[in-house]
Amino acid sequence: MSEGTLIDFTLLFNRFKKPLFNYACKITGSEVLSEDICQNVFIKLYHNLNNIRNSEAIEFWIFTTCRNEIFDHFRKKKKRIEESIESNDKRISTESLYDDFEKKELIELIEEELKGMDSSQSEVYYLKEYSGLSYREIAGIMGITEDLVRSRIFKVRQKLKRAIIKSERG
């Protein structure tokens, strides 16, 4: 690999490591598994970087490869996602303890609702909200239309809104 390609790889790794890890964590529910999957994705990227002709397609390639790695893992192990992951970056201060508790309850409610949804809906939501991808990028990764992405995200948000309103009332 040439020095220029190594620099390109390093830049791509630094740009995508966090969003890719967040996406993998939300889908797998495991930090350790997500680290392994992301490592595999970046190893594959390293070996295939010279074969990817369209530089704009690299992001699609990375997230699609990650998605395929996750599906391959669950196919091999025949496991299902059972637990959600909580952010370790969160710091609780005495001034905002009440706010943090409310946020934690809200996050737990959202995660519970997402678990109960069809995986195609929750995956679109995770890609949008946790990885910050555009509708077009999500459509490319999942192999669906942008309109379908918009529709799924709208439906997920409506379901989450109804669940939040219901929990506030009850």
What are the sequence ranges of the domains in the chain?
1-85, 88-170
Residue-wise pLDDT tens digits, 21-43: 998 988 888 899 999 999 999 99
Fold topology of 88-170: Arc Repressor Mutant, subunit A (1.10.10)
Is the pLDDT at 146 greater than 90? The verdict is: yes
Q: What is the CATH code of the structural domain delimited by 1-85? A: 1.10.1740.10
Residue-wise pLDDT tens digits, 83-127: 333 333 344 444 455 555 667 777 788 888 888 888 888 888 888
CA–CA separation, 99 and 23 (whole Å): 25
CB 21 within 8 A of CB 130: no
> What's the 3-state SS for 5-54?
HHHHHHHHHHHHHHHHHHHHHHHHCCHHHHHHHHHHHHHHHHHHHHHCCC
Sign of CA dihedral 58, 61, 62, 63: positive
User: Which amino acid is present at 112?
Assistant: E
